[in-house]
Amino acid sequence: MQLLDGKYVSEKIKKEIAVDAGKILATRGRKPHLVAVLVGHDGGSETYVASKMRNCEAVGFKSSLVRYEDDVTEEELLIKVAELNADEDIDGIIVQLPLPKHIDPEKVTEKIDHRKDVDGFHPINLGRMQRNLPSFIPATPYGITMMLKEYKIETSGKHCVVVGRSNIVGSPMSILMARNTYPGNCTVTVCHSRTPDIKKFTLDADILIVAIGKKNFITADMVKDGVVVIDVGMNRETSTLTKSGYKLWGDVDFEGVSQKSSWITPVPGGVGLMTIIGLLKNTLASANKEVYP
């Protein structure tokens, strides 16, 4: 078993990003600028957004946080997004999900200028990604592709099983792995909550990507020897074992599954760290007008 080490890969790429940000500052007298919009006080979202802001500063980006209480109206939020779209000092806009029930996330996502949509959630970016055209790629799937590249994991002709079909991870991941590029060229199976007998599919996976949000969902009896396992799980549980009072669990039973896998991502220290890199790379690309010249 070998580790797909998110800490190592993310630190390495962060250094490259910092160099590029330095060049932008030297030549154009400005920093790449990411704005995050956070609604309410969901514990997970607070943690993720704080980490995004911290990492921006660490690589020499400017970051701004726009906060609203849970009772903000959809209209107020859409007006703010329009304002951010028009602000020429802003390269990237993210609205942290989930949003309160009275706000339609699709409306908000479509309101973001696709040229600043560094989450890659806008239908224009999603469609362009599917066609293999320049686009912003959702941060977690993008981070996973960078990890597969770094460790030169063979993907062509492999059976990739994606467990989970969310807009944020499972669905875009399945598109990327089927594209005619590297990493990609896989035969892709998408399993989800309505799939009977998921084990039947996971047992055949050469590459298994799990984003289902259930602690230790994948166990050793569900995988074959030599499988490459990508665990996207971020299941937070209160714990007395850690300083923060929380412990993170993956969707994969690491102890059991790592006995059979050729490569596996740990949690924490795997995909979570790469997600930030995906977001930073998209923001940098936006500042350099690489996707939409």
> Is position 259 annotated as part of the catalytic site?
no
Q: At what angle do helices 271-287 and 139-150 cross, to 10 degrees?
A: 110
Check 96, 231, 251, 253 and give the catalytic one: 96
Nearer to ligand GUN, 140 or 189 (CB): 140
Residues 182/149, Cβ–Cβ less than 8 Å: yes
Smallest distance, ligand GUN to C-beta of residue 275, A: 6
Residue 155, token pair as written in the block: 């993907």
Nearest distance, CB of residue 139 and ligand GUN, angstroms:
5
Q: What gap in Å lies between CA 285 and CA 292, rounded to an integer?
A: 9
Q: Closest distance between ligand GUN and the C-beta of residue 162, in Å? A: 16
Of 5, 20, 31, 52, catalytic:
52
Radius of gyration of the chain (CA): 19
62 - beta bridge partners? 33
The DSSP H or E segment spanning 132 is: none
Of 225 and 237, CB closest to ligand GUN: 237
Given the residues 5, 20, 117, 119, select the one marked as catalytic: 119
2 is catalytic: no
Distances 67 to 71, 123, 133 between C-alpha atoms, Å: 12, 25, 33
Phi, psi of 161 (to 5 degrees): -105, 120
CB of 71 to ligand GUN, least distance (A): 20
Q: Which residues bind ligand GUN (CB under 6 A)?
A: 94-97, 119, 139, 168
For ligand GUN, the closer of residues 24 and 139 by Cβ is: 139
Q: Which is closer to ligand GUN, CB of 136 or CB of 201?
A: 136
Q: Say whether 251 is catalytic.
A: no
Q: Which residues are catalytic?
A: 52, 96, 119
